[in-house]
A and B are shown apart, each in its own frame.
Chain A
Amino acid sequence: MSRRPVDVGDPDRLYTITGGRSRADGGAFDLVTLIVSECEPSTGQQSEHVRILELCRHPTAVVEIAAELSLPITVVRILLEDLQATGRITARHPRVAASAALPDSALLTEVLHGLRNL
């Protein structure tokens, strides 16, 4: 079993999926931002949008969506922007900011408890 070669010198398929765009507009979606569907897929929707709406009936991280769809993160971010712009998904952003050197100790205590209880 091998992965689908999505980037083997022919980016046409990716450009088709994203409607010709090559990068997401903002840095809105972190790898671990959790995405939640706000509606069911409708007929006539792009198949990738349908898959995302199905996957995200339960919260699903951006990186998991990318893995499940076998698409690069960049492409998934663009698809998510489309869905968010039309209110079909919402995003739960990570509490630890990309710029923060260290999270607060209360959060880390919670993480420690979680790990010890595994």
Chain B
Amino acid sequence: MGSATSELPPEARTPLRDTAESGLKIVVVGGFGVGKTTLVRSVSEIRPLNTEEVMTRAGEDVDPVPTESAKTTTTVAFDFGRISLNDRLVLYLFGAPGQKRFWFLWDRLFSGTLGAVVLVDTRRMDDSWYAIDRLEHHGTPFVVAVNRFDGEHAYHSLDEIRTALALPAHVPLIDCDARVRSSGKDVLITLVDHLHHLARERELTA
């Protein structure tokens, strides 16, 4: 997880078009080292940037401050990338840790996201449980993408993974290679396609 990605010289920046009028958000969530930043990098038009938020007492109930310390703030860092969808719409992809202690960050920073990608490493599937549980509880639409790298295709089928994650049938589950742009793009398309179906269903029953 790179932490020194922020200090681009001004001339290296790729500015948005002046017609850009609306920003959209998608969150990529998963355990440590699962490939969130790699996925963001593979589809982003800019080098992924890193920024942070100072969390104050608002986060205390879910991110307890150690009692022996007088510290009242903590910082949370996250990576993000950008995709210009057309002249007006720009999509931001945020890579965020999915563990319990980071949930307060999601609520505060990522409200209004279109949906989420849960990135799974089959060697550490329990890292994904909390994120999936919270997304379901929250009603945030999501897809699950299994990051296949190191040629570990043979070990678990998607069906086995769906069972292991207790993933409901309606949640899309796909393979990907986060290092490959077309694969990362497919993950995003799967998510937005899923969102589109949900939105159509809602509009037809409204």
Contacts and interface: CB of A to CB of B under 8 A. Distances in A.
B6 A74 contact: no
A61 interface: yes
Report whether over half of chain B's contact residues are helix, strand or loop; otherwise say mixed.
mixed
Contacts of B52: 6-7, 66, 72-73
Contacts of A23: 56
Interface in B45-99: 49-54, 56, 71, 73, 75, 80, 82-86, 89-92, 94
Given A67-B50, A68-B8, A95-B22, A73 B73 contact: no
Given A67-B49, A111-B24, A102 B54 contact: no
Interface string A82-118: 0000000000111111111111110011111111101
Given A58-B18, A72-B52, A97 B90 contact: no
Interface in A1-53: 1-3, 6-7, 9, 11, 14, 22-23, 30-34
Given A7-B75, A112-B189, A2 B3 contact: yes
Interface of A: 1-3, 6-7, 9, 11, 14, 22-23, 30-34, 54-55, 57-61, 63-64, 66-68, 70, 72-75, 92-105, 108-116, 118
Interface of B: 3-8, 10, 13, 15-18, 20-25, 43, 49-54, 56, 71, 73, 75, 80, 82-86, 89-92, 94, 109-112, 114, 139, 141, 185, 188-189, 192-193, 195-196, 198-200, 202-203
